[in-house]
Structure 1
Amino acid sequence: MSPSRPKSNYFVSNSSLSSLEYAVEREMTSSSLARHRRWISQFKVAYSQTKPFPSPPSISSTAGRHNADSDVPSGPPPIRVSLTGSAGRGVFATRKIGAGDLIHTAKPLVAHPLLSSVHHVCNFCLRKLQRNANANADAHRATFCCKECERHSKVFHDVEMQADWSDFDKNCRERGLKYPLLVKRLACMVISGAISSDLLDILQPSSLSPHMVTELKEGYSLLRKALVKSSITDEQLLFLTQEWYTGVLARIRINAFRIELVGGYEDLLSLAAACVEAEAAVGNAVYMLPSFYNHNCDPNTHIIWINNANARLKALRDVEPDEELRICYIDASMDHEARQTLLYQGFGFICNCTRCSSGD
């Protein structure tokens, strides 16, 4: 699924965060089958020229051509992050990249399952759990796909389990909000000492309207209330101010990716059908390097998730040295007017890519 994040400042007046999220997702989902069919045809051509992706690597970012039987990358990522002429930071190729090449992978800085999927996917990596694997699980406890994920989840899980999140989750569920869940998890990671509270400061923030900031106060209040009622000390909560909550949510709002699992290369057509029924979406995540990719309505790069939240950036066509790598934030099969409207209303910018400039 295309990421729900822009690269430029984003401002929406007279509109709530929840209604905007719904509008963007509705537009994305309505014609997702057509988009995936279009992308699948591109992917088949690219994939036929290269080897399958390997299993997820053990470090946060790897790249280059991989041996199909090895997790070891052949070299550093063939990319650099530099300033663009009009869209802030961007990602550029440092050498020729072939169609179908795996450019790099990335593990999320923070991820959280959808509330509807919380007992159907791993609470750490978002991998789908085996059917009935958690049938007897405590409904109030998180589930994991393996002992390794359970061990890695210590960076947030022990803190999360100390608090009662029923009011917080209810507010998110009733208003259709997902990003406050990522803020909650990030806060628990800070409390556990795993990360610094300024982890996301490097990412581009959105500009929130006064109306939206006012609405965010309720989410902040519910988050702080849940943590204060637990055994978390006042000293541990010094960072948790309304300014911190708003700033983090503003960055998450435009840098979060909606995770839709392919499940394997043989299952791409099933993915297209599942997307229409929203069965493929399992959660949301924020990454560092993938957040620097800018948008294009005719992208040369695509991001996919195979079995979990580890992101894979793959070239859709040949890319020349120093060419900027771009992904598509929305449904590329929409017509010109629809794309422009969605990009401006949802992401705060007017697209001037070659395709849009030609009126296609």
Structure 2
Amino acid sequence: MGLVRYSRWASRLKTLNSQTKPLLSFSSSSSFSSATTADNENPGRPGPPPIRVALTESFGRGVFATRKIETGELIHTAKPVLSHPSLSTIHKVCYCCLRKLKTTDSSQAQRVSFCSDECQRQAKGFHDMEMRADWSAYDDYCRSRGLKYPLLVKRLACMVMSRAAFANLLDILQPASLSPEMIVEMEEGFGLLRSAFENSNITGEQMSFLTKQWYIGVLARIRINAFRIELVGALYDDLLSSLAASIESEAAVGNAVYMLPSFYNHDCDPNAHIIWIENADARLKALRDVDEGEELRICYIDASMDHDARQSFLSHGFGFQCNCHRCLTGD
């Protein structure tokens, strides 16, 4: 998932029963917020976003509008529950929020940096634990195979050991289907991860959760729920400008997992869009007017690809055949 290019925004999604019982409800204290106000008595306090998570007719959970949402409206924002910079940008972005650093000290090229004291404080939940181990073999394993998601598993493991997160943090998310070849590769990564901790004298109760089953289960969920973070910059805060800029966006600065954005289903002609302005905080915006009760969908891939390419990419990458209006008409 990531920034995508859209060739059209014309088709309408089928409006589902607005009385479907919601699976999740939201409050302003959650890790995401809305641009709307909660009530007239608290004009400065953001209210819950105009959405609910409920069962769809055929795709499991989905996100639905609880009122009419206008084109370009900021639906909600979301902070990642898990993020990690890519290995190619690890010394160029904040090790916590993935914001691009203004300057890079060449003398400190082998050290990670933070964009602010606040990010450094937030990173205490994983950074101290990460710094105790030698990750050279694990990073080489990821780099040589072009893997990015094992880095997120490493970070979650460090968060769990630091008691900044529970081991079942991602259990609510849908896992990917894994081939025997994928499992063999994951087993190799698990061995390297566990060895890195054991070689740094982290053993016993601290590592009791870190089993092969846990590693593979987490990675299976990350595979189809992680987003590729491409920053468009503050200059493109406007929705239409950011869409145009995404065509020429720079390489991804990292990857992240979110709770609420992970519940959005796919459509090759979506009515919503996810963008990142300056850091890993996600912004969900409407691409067109959305009716109350209508399902909100984003595009997981580059929507400018032709029909066969989209079907192949979604089948191999996400494990489903797309039956959206655009695909059913052969567009």
The TM tier, using the shorter chain, reads: 0.7 to 0.9
Which residue number in structure 2 is paired with residue 61 of structure 1?
Answer: 32
Which residue number in structure 2 is paired with residue 2 of structure 1?
Answer: 2
1:186-235 C-alpha deviation (Å, 9 max, x unpaired): 00000001111001000001121122111111100000000011132311
Aligned match of 2:161 in 163, 175, 191?
A: 191
Which residue number in structure 1 is paired with residue 209 of structure 2?
Answer: 239
Whole-Å separation in 2 of the counterparts to 1:299 and 1:269: 13
1:280-327 C-alpha deviation (Å, 9 max, x unpaired): 410000000000000001100000000000000000111100100000
Aligned match of 1:309 in 271, 280, 283?
A: 280
* 3-state SS in 1 of match to 2:107: coil
Give the partner amino acid of 2:126: F
Once the two structures are overlaid, the 10-residue window that deviates more, 291-300 or 347-356, is 347-356
The size of the alignment, in residue pairs, is 307
Inter-CA distance 91–270: structure 2 relative to 1 (3 Å threshold): closer
Counterparts of 1:150-169 in structure 2 under 5 Å? 150-169=120-139
Which residue number in structure 2 is paired with residue 209 of structure 1?
Answer: 179
Which residue number in structure 2 is paired with residue 218 of structure 1?
Answer: 188
* 2:229 matches 1:259: yes
Give 1:138 deviation, angstroms: 5.2
TM-score for both structures, normalised by structure 1: 0.80
TM-score for both structures, normalised by structure 2: 0.87
Which residue number in structure 2 is paired with residue 81 of structure 1?
Answer: 53
Which residue number in structure 1 is paired with residue 78 of structure 2?
Answer: 106
Whole-Å separation in 1 of the counterparts to 2:328 and 2:290: 21
Which residue number in structure 2 is paired with residue 50 of structure 1?
Answer: none
Whole-Å separation in 2 of the counterparts to 1:104 and 1:311: 8
Give 1:76 deviation, angstroms: 1.0
Give the partner amino acid of 1:144: F
Does the CA contact (< 8 Å) of 1:303 and 1:311 recur in 2? Answer: yes
Which residue number in structure 1 is paired with residue 24 of structure 2?
Answer: none
Give 1:61 deviation, angstroms: 0.6
Does the CA contact (< 8 Å) of 1:90 and 1:292 recur in 2? Answer: yes
Give the partner amino acid of 1:183: V
Counterparts of 1:1-360 in structure 2 under 5 Å? 2=2, 35=5, 38=7, 60-65=31-36, 72=44, 74-132=46-104, 134-137=105-108, 139=110, 141-266=111-236, 268=242, 271-272=245-246, 274-275=248-249, 279-360=250-331
1:233-266 C-alpha deviation (Å, 9 max, x unpaired): 3110000000000000000001000000010244
Does the CA contact (< 8 Å) of 1:271 and 1:280 recur in 2? Answer: no
* 3-state SS in 1 of match to 2:323: coil
Does the CA contact (< 8 Å) of 2:125 and 2:162 recur in 1? Answer: yes
Question: Which structure carries more helix by proportion?
Answer: 1
Whole-Å separation in 2 of the counterparts to 1:168 and 1:183: 11
Does the CA contact (< 8 Å) of 1:65 and 1:102 recur in 2? Answer: no
Give 1:131 deviation, angstroms: 3.0
Whole-Å separation in 1 of the counterparts to 2:134 and 2:44: 42
Whole-Å separation in 2 of the counterparts to 1:261 and 1:343: 23
Inter-CA distance 245–351: structure 2 relative to 1 (3 Å threshold): same
Does the CA contact (< 8 Å) of 1:2 and 1:257 recur in 2? Answer: yes
Whole-Å separation in 2 of the counterparts to 1:215 and 1:74: 44
* 3-state SS in 1 of match to 2:284: strand
Q: CA RMSD in A?
A: 2.4
* 3-state SS in 1 of match to 2:171: coil
Give 1:273 deviation, angstroms: 5.3
Give 1:269 deviation, angstroms: 7.7
Give the partner amino acid of 1:290: P
Give 1:136 deviation, angstroms: 2.7
Give the partner amino acid of 2:153: V
Whole-Å separation in 1 of the counterparts to 2:243 and 2:328: 31
Whole-Å separation in 1 of the counterparts to 2:44 and 2:248: 32
Give 1:338 deviation, angstroms: 1.7
Identity %: 64
Whole-Å separation in 2 of the counterparts to 1:72 and 1:290: 24
Give 1:58 deviation, angstroms: 9.3
Whole-Å separation in 2 of the counterparts to 1:269 and 1:295: 18
Give 1:274 deviation, angstroms: 3.8
Whole-Å separation in 1 of the counterparts to 2:139 and 2:30: 32
Whole-Å separation in 2 of the counterparts to 1:253 and 1:332: 20
Inter-CA distance 262–85: structure 2 relative to 1 (3 Å threshold): same
Give the partner amino acid of 2:323: N
Does the CA contact (< 8 Å) of 1:63 and 1:73 recur in 2? Answer: no
* 3-state SS in 2 of match to 1:326: strand
* 3-state SS in 1 of match to 2:255: strand
